[in-house]
A = this chain, B = another copy of it.
């Protein structure tokens, strides 16, 4: 039986301006979908895992569109609640060369904001689950969303499910009256694997030092149950070229992945989520060094396709880890 991962979070419609046009001149949009945690779930489904995503979607045909997106990417519908409301949207103007990519969000007051704990069938969602994952975006959206994240963590812990949190800090969110420090520490207490950089640790946990590893150690003092920390290191020269590597800190050791030079980037959105999914796959199946290598290779492949989600199979990631096939024409 396949391993099963549960994720939770809002799914947005992404409307991308095609052909390197500016948003103010566009006459059409390409439609894709994404959300940090759903991206992780989809990616794991492409690796062959069972994947269940907890979310709320509008009860009209645009909500149907998103549900179809999730299903065709292998995510089960058991965690999806359909109810009245609007779909969150973000507009993406893809950068090129020295011109950065720009996002305009239109996500406030979406259906997900109003999702309530008792609308989820927790028994079904967590049945046979091996892993639960959330991100710092969900608790930043609304009190409902923060509550349901905490509830999901408790449901996971109750069943012995390993948990991970990508505690990314989004300045534009957190507009419902709470601050990260009000909420995030309570979530981290139930979290086994923490993903986050220096800025995230500072904003979400109030821990701050000049160096990531030192920060992790400080976090560990406060939350000794945490089993691993991780983050990507991205060196973004231009919109078209980035370097990427990953760090994994566990059992007192720092594991560093290969550094990839990514030229001719197709789409960098969701790169971090692809890394996260790779990590989860690794924690479930690989040793630490293999895990961080798998995570970064997954993220690199994500940059080669359009959309927020990684469309690579486990085998394709493994090939890149080994360096096989790069630049080849596979017949």
Q: Are B236 and A62 in contact (CB-based, < 8 A)?
A: no
Given contacts A268-B329, A301-B98, A331-B103, contact A28 B25 (CB under 8 A): no
- Bits for A98-110, please: 1 = Cβ < 8 Å to B, else 0: 1111111110110
Check A303 for interface membership: any CB of B closer than 8 A: yes
Which of B301, B312, B327 has a CB less than 8 Å from the CB of A236?
Answer: B327
CB neighbours of A25 from chain B (8 A)? 65, 68, 311
Q: Are B268 and A240 in contact (CB-based, < 8 A)?
A: no
Count of A interface residues, CB-CB < 8 Å: 76
CB neighbours of A26 from chain B (8 A)? 31, 65
- Bits for A233-275, please: 1 = Cβ < 8 Å to B, else 0: 0001111111000000000000000001011111011000000
Q: Which of A83-91, A181-189, A209-217 contacts B (4 or more CB under 8 A)?
A: A83-91
What residue of chain B has the Cβ atom nearest to residue A64's Cβ? B24
CB neighbours of A64 from chain B (8 A)? 23-24
Q: Are B327 and A100 in contact (CB-based, < 8 A)?
A: yes
Q: Are B316 and A99 in contact (CB-based, < 8 A)?
A: yes
What residue of chain B has the Cβ atom nearest to residue A26's Cβ? B31
Q: Closest 5 CB pairs between A and B?
A: A236-B327, A72-B72, A99-B304, A24-B64, A23-B61
A residues near B (Cβ < 8 Å) are 15, 19-31, 60-62, 64-65, 68-69, 71-72, 86-87, 89, 91, 93, 95-106, 108-109, 170, 172, 236-242, 260, 262-266, 268-269, 300-301, 303-306, 311-312, 316, 320, 325-331
